[in-house]
Amino acid sequence: MLFECDPPPRLIGIARLAASSDLLEAKRAVEYFELETRRFIGRGSGRMRSIWTLNPYRGCEFGCKYCYARYAHEFMELRDPGLFEHKIYIKQFQKHAFRAELRRLKAGETIWIGTATDPYQPAERRFRITRGILEVFSGERSFDLGITTKSDLVARDAGLLAEIGRRNSVGVHLTITTLDEKLARLLEPRAPRPALRLRALKKLSDEGVRVSVLAHPVMPLINDSEESLDQVCAAAASHGASAFSAGPLFLKPCAQQVFFPFLEQHFPHLLRRYKERFEKNPYLQGAYPEMIQERVQKIRSRHCMKPWEAPEWPVSDQLELFREPVKKPAAALTLQRKVDSV
């Protein structure tokens, strides 16, 4: 416990950088900061050891109630899990530095964009970091590139992704947890509607980009019915996706702080059962995950879909991915500070 006369804690590493980040823009509920970053590409850990990960932003404005990545802001000493969706850090990006970083990787290596943030969240419209990254990839060859998003903004880059795909392997993975728009609005308050995501899927597929749909996370008694999952899979198939997958929810303590109050407000009858399960262990085990896997397999075969081709999601190791090293160079930031209301 801190007493009034205690000195403020000494911040180090990413927390120090976050605290000294320049404010680029502020709108009603969101502030954008610029974050200096020494390396863009990070190594996965555990079962993800064989792949590289890339997150253009820290934080995510979409504010999904189940989001596991809220933990990422804790590395910056931002302990309130709500700040993950209100303080968005834009990684400083320079094409030549990123190109040099990329060229240190071996041909054929897998790089995953969007493991701890959405690379097409609203910030991307303004700051275009993901677009810049893809433009560099368009001059490279032999990489295996994967992108996960909930945003229809990805369709903006359909042509560029197709171009990258001519000399690399590219897959775009849209997350759609439900087709029920009201439920989606509750669960993913600021993410584009499922219908918009499907439209983006179709555009990508028409351009020849390989696309798949993830109905992840599957939340017990919320979106786990066979009917609900089947609807998502059927829509994915009819909009050009070749693969479909879904996995059960996991709730780390930082995500519980947001998800439990959400349940209390919208699904009060489920709160006690969720607490009993997840407070003991953030991962569901036993019969439930097995039942969901069987259900998903059955649905997949009904719609002639393949399973998602990505490496298995590293539920327990994933948080290590946020520990990308960052370094503040001696030179002052050159971007002009902009504060305006939108």
Binding site for ligand SF4 (CB under 6 A): 60, 62-64, 67, 69, 117-118, 150, 191
Judged by beta carbon, residue 81 or residue 165, the one nearer ligand SF4 is 81
Judged by beta carbon, residue 118 or residue 152, the one nearer ligand SF4 is 118
CB atoms within 10 A of CB 230: 17
Judged by beta carbon, residue 102 or residue 113, the one nearer ligand SF4 is 113
| Rounded least distance, CB 68 to ligand SF4, Å | 7
* Token pair 């519980």 in the structure block, residue: 256
Judged by beta carbon, residue 62 or residue 89, the one nearer ligand SF4 is 62
**Neighbouring residues of 53: CB distance < 8 A, sequence distance ≥ 6:** 41, 42, 43, 44, 111, 112, 113, 115, 116, 321
The SS3 call for residue 200 is helix
- The H-or-E segment that residue 144 falls in is strand 144-149
| Rounded least distance, CB 99 to ligand SF4, Å | 26
| Rounded least distance, CB 63 to ligand SF4, Å | 5
| Rounded least distance, CB 89 to ligand SF4, Å | 13
Q: Which residues pair with 285 in a beta bridge?
A: none
Kindly list the distances between the CA atom of residue 206 and the CA atoms of 200, 240, 274, in Å, as whole numbers in the listed order.
10, 8, 41
| Rounded least distance, CB 250 to ligand SF4, Å | 12
| Rounded least distance, CB 62 to ligand SF4, Å | 4
Judged by beta carbon, residue 82 or residue 108, the one nearer ligand SF4 is 82
Alpha carbons 39 and 246: distance in angstroms, whole number: 31
Judged by beta carbon, residue 148 or residue 168, the one nearer ligand SF4 is 148
Judged by beta carbon, residue 63 or residue 247, the one nearer ligand SF4 is 63
Contact 135, 160 (CB under 8 A): yes
Judged by beta carbon, residue 64 or residue 296, the one nearer ligand SF4 is 64
Judged by beta carbon, residue 188 or residue 224, the one nearer ligand SF4 is 188
- The H-or-E segment that residue 271 falls in is helix 268-278
What is the per-residue DSSP string for 30-78? -EEEEE--S-SEEE--GGGTTEEEE-SEES-TT--TT-GGGGGGGGGT-
Contact 288, 265 (CB under 8 A): no
Give Cα 298 to chain centroid, integer Å.
Answer: 27
Alpha carbons 42 and 324: distance in angstroms, whole number: 6
Burial (0-12, 13-18, 19+ Cβ within 10 Å), 83: middle
**Neighbouring residues of 340: CB distance < 8 A, sequence distance ≥ 6:** 25, 26
* Token pair 């995501």 in the structure block, residue: 197
Q: Which residues pair with 88 in a beta bridge?
A: 32
